[in-house]
Amino acid sequence: MTQYKIQLGSWTKLPEGKVQVDTRDIMKMMAEKVCGDVESHVAKVGSFWDYIGVYHDHTILVYHSAGDYTGLVNQPSLFIPYEELQKMLNTPVETPQGQGMPKVSSLLNTKLDCRKADGTVDEELSRAFQEACFEQGIVWGTHNGFCKHLDKHFLYTNKGRISFSNKEGVNDTFFERRNNKQINFKYSRTLIWEATVVEPATPEPADEMVDICGVEYSAKGLSEALALIKSARKV
């Protein structure tokens, strides 16, 4: 039995080349699967469109041919029959007991409250979330790959970009109103290390001076000279 997965590039052919009664619901379901958006254009039931597809920015689109949008090439391996999408739409989503909330694989179109229980910002949580976004190509505009705004309470992702707001009056309400999917974000950092003791250098003993006929000589120097003389005699 073929297992179908909604992902970037997934597409289907609309029955009779028309928008069906359940097409909009199917598009919303597809958007939830890829943490995306449904295009702002509202395709009316009965209007003539040939395909539904998941665009490269995770937007769910209706279109006439694959050439209409860069990134939509109608690859055969990513085709999902419309009937299968109807089955997915009508299948109730249940969270397996003991497994907590459903997990998301894409951080696009999500929002995160970076506050700790005491209301202060968890800067390490913000940093880890941003780094995970960078791995998925979601960045701060021109500041690609650099963590910033670690003191901000709320972070959002949309259309490949990260944005923020702070807890200043209306912003709590703003965070709640945003259509982004709110997530909990857990992370771990593994530190592998090894430490060795640095032994202090042993100081050399002070060199004694030897007086010979009123002239002082280094005891170490005399010892080395005598060793050389003895060595020369043996030869």
pLDDT in tens, 42-54: 678 888 899 999 9
Is pLDDT of 185 > 70?
yes
Write the CA distances from 27 to 10, 14, 91, 169, integer angstroms: 12, 12, 15, 35
pTM of the entire structure? 0.46
pLDDT in tens, 108-152: 889 999 998 888 999 999 999 999 999 888 899 876 678 999 999
Cα separation, 151 vs 153, in Å, equals 7
Confirm if 59 and 36 have CB atoms less than 8 A apart.
yes
Confirm if 175 and 113 have CB atoms less than 8 A apart.
yes
Backbone φ/ψ region at 2: left (φ over 0), alpha (ψ -120 to 50), beta: beta
Most confident range (mean pLDDT) of 62-71, 119-128, 188-197 is 119-128
Is the model more confident about 104 or about 61? 61
Calculate mean pLDDT across residues 200-219: 77
pLDDT band of 98, cuts 50, 70, 90: very low
Enter the DSSP assignment of 7: -
Closest CA relative to residue 167, chosen from 179, 151, 144, 147: 151
Least confident of 47-61, 85-99, 221-235: 85-99
Q: What pLDDT shows up at residue 82? A: 93
Place of tokens 């707001």: 165
Calculate mean pLDDT across residues 214-233: 77
- What element of type H or E holds 62? strand 59-63
What percent of the chain clears pLDDT 70, i.e. is strictly above it?
A: 87
Q: What pLDDT shows up at residue 111? A: 92
Closest CA relative to residue 185, chosen from 116, 114, 136: 114
Closest CA relative to residue 22, chosen from 119, 88, 109, 77: 88
What is the separation, in whole angstroms, between the first and last Cα of the chain? Answer: 94
pLDDT band of 67, cuts 50, 70, 90: low
Q: What pLDDT shows up at residue 170? A: 55
Calculate mean pLDDT across residues 156-184: 80
What percent of the chain clears pLDDT 90, i.e. is strictly above it?
A: 23
User: Which tokens is 39 given?
Assistant: 């295009």
Q: What pLDDT shows up at residue 90? A: 79
Q: What pLDDT shows up at residue 168? A: 62
**How many residues would you count in the chain?**
235
Question: What does DSSP say about strands 110-113 and 181-182: parallel, antiparallel, or unpaired?
Answer: parallel
Is the model more confident about 211 or about 6? 6
pLDDT band of 172, cuts 50, 70, 90: low
Q: What pLDDT shows up at residue 171? A: 55
Cα separation, 127 vs 146, in Å, equals 9
- What element of type H or E holds 129? helix 123-135
Is pLDDT of 99 > 60?
no
